[in-house]
Amino acid sequence: MARGAFFNVPLHGHVNATLPVVRELVDRGEDITYYLTDAFRPQVERAGARFHRYESTLEREIGFLPARMPGESRHVLSQLLEAVRAERPDYLVYDPMCLWARMIGQLLRIPAITFRPTMAINPQAGPFAAFLKSRVSAFPGVFEQAAKELGELTREYGLPPTDLMGMLGQVEPLNLVCVPRSFQPGGDTFDESFVFVGPSIRPRGDAGDFPFAHLAEGPTLYISLGTIFNNWPEFYRMCFTAFGGTRWRVVLATGHAVNPAELGPIPDNFLVRPSVPQLEVLERTDVFLTHGGANSLMEALSYGVPVVVIPQMAEQPLNAHRVVELGLGLALDKDTVTVEQLQQAVARVSSEPEFRTKVRAMQQDVRGSGGYHRAAEAILEFRARQG
């Protein structure tokens, strides 16, 4: 039995994909410690890992996440460096946003693995370079300040200099990527250190009292904008106008920030809840109207569901671009979306056979990538090579 350590940022979209891998490693005899904030303790302990808490500055606000990492790293390093030194894991697994975890690995000379919940980023490649350039222009001054903080931090700990682009594109001897290679732009250009395991999905068994009978009376449209940027009552009212009183049986997950009283009358063919058992709903869904977060998108593709993507933040525009490029669905602009566009996009995706055909082909790639089983095997193979 070896000791492994997982490190992550306190965001569901980054954490969720790791938990099935942790459970699989524990079931195979590994001793895993997961370093996270208190809000994630129940999920970590259900996965069988030992929980070790840290306090994060990200719980107060997020902003543009990469630019927050130098300050966050200074805050977290002071809490965890000596604890990890005392634990002395045989290997560590970290989300690339965890600059501080990378630094711990360098300082303590612990073999490290990156775990990417979304596509691998090559900062020099076409779509990634354009996206990063747009982020720099959207957050003037933020990158300069972050670069200054990052330089100070690496000098303080005696580590080689790096920058935000280097952080995003960091490569370790093993890099796990939670998309199939066929979804990754330029997937055939990545070497054997990149293992494209596809979505890491394990049945959660948390359907509760969800009324699935609601979905039996017609085709199902599922609408969700994820767990962070979902406080958008105007959009939900647009969905009421677009799909209320139609043949669609609509499931709308609003998140917990929305006051239901703001939404007004709910059409009879809508089921509106703060959250729903997403895997079980997707299993019965015909079209998914989504923000395009990596986890949600991969879960939809694993169930063969075509999508309409309205990206909100971070890497979601890149995911939306890839969806359109591969013919897996359509994308709309959140700043200009209209009721008519919603109706037309959902109608096209549901009625044009080519979308369903391409999604089913991607579904086979997703299922053939191995998911959390393959990720755990790759980690164990990596650990065996170290020692």
Among candidate residues 153, 130, 319, the one with its CA nearest the CA of residue 226: 319
Residue 136 DSSP label:
H
Identify whether residues 140 and 269 lie together within a single domain. no
| Position 145 confidence tier, pLDDT thresholds 50, 70, 90 | confident
Identify whether residues 55 and 171 lie together within a single domain. yes
Q: Rounded mean pLDDT of 265-279?
A: 92
303-314 burial: b if 16+ Cβ within 10 Å, else e: bbbbbbbbbbbb
Identify whether residues 342 and 382 lie together within a single domain. no
CB 287 within 8 A of CB 86: no
Give the strand pairing for 31-36 and 50-53.
parallel
CB 348 within 8 A of CB 330: yes
**Measured CA distances, 101 to 55, 80, 247, 320 (Å):** 14, 9, 50, 29
CB 232 within 8 A of CB 204: no
Q: Rounded mean pLDDT of 310-326?
A: 88
| Position 326 confidence tier, pLDDT thresholds 50, 70, 90 | very high
For residue 137, pLDDT beyond 80: no
What share of the chain has pLDDT > 70, as a percent?
90
Burial class (CB in 10 A: 0-12, 13-18, 19+), 34: buried
Least confident stretch, 21-25, 32-36, 99-103: 99-103
Model pLDDT, residue 12: 87
Model pLDDT, residue 207: 63
**pLDDT tens-digit series, residues 84-110:** 999 999 999 999 889 899 999 999 999
Half-sphere exposure of 11 (CA within 13 A, CB side): 22
Give the strand pairing for 249-253 and 270-273.
parallel
Identify whether residues 165 and 125 lie together within a single domain. yes
Model pLDDT, residue 206: 65
**pLDDT tens-digit series, residues 343-376:** 999 999 999 999 999 999 999 999 999 999 999 9
> Which residues on adjacent β-strands are paired with residue 4?
32, 91
Q: Is residue 258 part of a domain?
A: yes
CB 346 within 8 A of CB 308: yes
Identify whether residues 227 and 343 lie together within a single domain. yes
Q: Is residue 279 part of a domain?
A: yes
| Position 132 confidence tier, pLDDT thresholds 50, 70, 90 | low
CB 374 within 8 A of CB 195: yes
CB 125 within 8 A of CB 183: no
Q: Is residue 206 part of a domain?
A: no
Identify whether residues 326 and 250 lie together within a single domain. yes
CB 149 within 8 A of CB 162: no
CATH number at residue 166: 3.40.50.2000
Q: Is residue 296 part of a domain?
A: yes
Identify whether residues 99 and 158 lie together within a single domain. yes
Q: Is residue 203 part of a domain?
A: no
Model pLDDT, residue 134: 65
Q: One-letter amino acid identity for 248?
A: W
Q: Is residue 207 part of a domain?
A: no
> 179 or 143: which carries more pLDDT confidence?
179
Q: What are phi and psi of 235, to 5 degrees?
A: -65, -40
Phi-psi domain of 29 (left: phi exceeds 0; alpha: psi -120 through 50; beta: other): left
Residue 49 DSSP label:
P
Q: One-letter amino acid identity for 82?
A: E
| Position 124 confidence tier, pLDDT thresholds 50, 70, 90 | low
Identify whether residues 252 and 194 lie together within a single domain. no
> What helix, strand, coil percent values describe the chain, rounded to 5?
50, 15, 40
Residue 323 DSSP label:
H
Return all residues near 359 (Cβ < 8 A) that are at least 6 apart. 301, 304, 305, 306, 328, 329
Identify whether residues 188 and 330 lie together within a single domain. no
**pLDDT tens-digit series, residues 193-220:** 999 999 998 876 666 678 888 888 889 9
Identify whether residues 282 and 346 lie together within a single domain. yes
Model pLDDT, residue 126: 60
Mean model confidence pLDDT for the chain:
89
Identify whether residues 309 and 272 lie together within a single domain. yes
What share of the chain has pLDDT > 90, as a percent?
65
Identify whether residues 10 and 113 lie together within a single domain. yes
For residue 170, pLDDT beyond 90: no
Q: Count of domains in the chain?
A: 2
Among candidate residues 385, 277, 301, 370, the one with its CA nearest the CA of residue 24: 370
CB 315 within 8 A of CB 352: no
Q: Rounded mean pLDDT of 58-63?
A: 64
Give the strand pairing for 287-290 and 270-273.
unpaired
Q: Is residue 205 part of a domain?
A: no
Q: How many CB atoms sit inside 10 A of residue 85's CB?
A: 12
Least confident stretch, 140-149, 156-165, 280-289, 348-357: 140-149
Model pLDDT, residue 211: 86
Q: Is residue 204 part of a domain?
A: no
The terminus-to-terminus CA distance of the chain in angstroms comes to 12
Domain range for 165? 3-198+370-386
